[in-house]
Amino acid sequence: MKKNAYVVDVSSYNPSDLSTYKNCGATMAIVKVSEGVAYRNPKGAAQIASAKSLGMECAGYFFCTFSNDLNGARAQALYAVESAKIMGLSGGSYLATDWETGTGASYNNVNGGKSKNTQAVLLTMDVIASAGYKPLLYSGAYLLKSNIDTSVILSHYPNSLWVASYPTSNAVSTANMNYFPAIPGVALWQFTDNWNGIHTDASIAVIDSDNKNNAEGDEDMGWHPEINVTELGRFKVTRPDGAQLYKDSDLTIPIAGAVKPAGGTYKIFKARNGAVNAGGQQWFSQADGLTKVNPLSVNQKAKGIICKIIADDAYTQNETTPNCAGIKYLPAGSSWKVISKKGDYLEIGGEKDGRYVLASKCKIILW
């Protein structure tokens, strides 16, 4: 697995010949091998053989239906290992536990308690590792944050998370870094379920096969600037030889001698047509760096936003008006999930603890 490489995951719903995905730029395929203890992907062997013949790296995954039952977890992991071997998945390849909500025959209860869920999932990864494969855990960002103790998983298997996080099912060709999941230990990020309009899941590799990711020095993936609530965002130059500044958003008039070095960060004032404005007549191409936009600047009910308290006198209140009685003290440095923005206030809680905090006493963390 090469960092920044595109990866597709396939099942019996996909063709046996993976040439289409290879031609789109995928260099790795993750093939479903099994589900439960009675189903094997009938195309699995052919898909693995196709990936190998095309020079693609190959991995596998199995869909869980054990909820948090330890006996079921062990049995399904053993069945997955057996299936992977039968289908020709080479030893030392990645084999992922796909633990998510299911329906019907694929029902998987994810609400049985974080500790028990974690124990069951970890058991499958232990079985996989004992069989000579490299374990991964796949799920959506929300479930991994709320229903699994990922710190326990990562203490056993560093950089082993394969996380789904994307805003739309419309056709997507490249990853939108504004939706990179705010979870440590990500190895693969599934950024779309409709890659290039061919209705196929696609991920981008965050680590190389040596298992090094942003937690071990990737400054770009680990860059989480803190900005004022009213700001649009930040731009960081990542192109090794620097980023050219232009006088126009069409990027047709370069500013002589204005090449900003890699690592430089800039406040964003406007964004247009793949370009970001760094003030006045100064435009960067977004292709030359990493753009992180404050979702609250375009949608006051944007989800997944985190604010950090920066004042020593921050309190919640139940009205969006000045000088209301404080209900709950919020320590400086503490972080809170934002429900919405209402005027000069952020909604972060309920009536009991106080719904609103003055936005000027907070910073927004851009993930």
**Residues annotated as catalytic (active site), given as ranges:** 9, 100
Euclidean distance between CA atoms 54 and 52, whole angstroms: 5
**Could you tell me the two tokens for 355?**
């719904």
Q: Residue 51, exposed/middle/buried by CB under 10 A (0-12, 13-18, 19+)?
A: buried
Element (H, E) at 290: strand 289-293
Contact 338, 356 (CB under 8 A): no
Residue 129 in tokens: 């590792």
Backbone φ/ψ region at 256: left (φ over 0), alpha (ψ -120 to 50), beta: beta
**Distance (Å, rounded) from C-alpha 317 to C-alpha 350?**
10
Q: DSSP 3-state helix, strand, coil percentages of the chain (rounded to 5)?
A: 20, 30, 45
Alpha-helix runs per DSSP H in the chain? 19-24, 44-53, 70-86, 114-130, 141-146, 150-156
Query: Are residues 258 and 251 in contact, defined by beta-carbon separation less than 8 angstroms?
Result: no
For 58, residues 6+ apart whose C-beta sits below 8 A from its C-beta are 28, 29, 30, 31, 48, 51, 52, 89, 90, 93
Are 185 and 213 in contact by the 8 Å Cβ rule? The answer is: yes
**Does residue 261 come out as left (phi exceeding 0), alpha (psi in the -120 to 50 range) or beta?**
beta
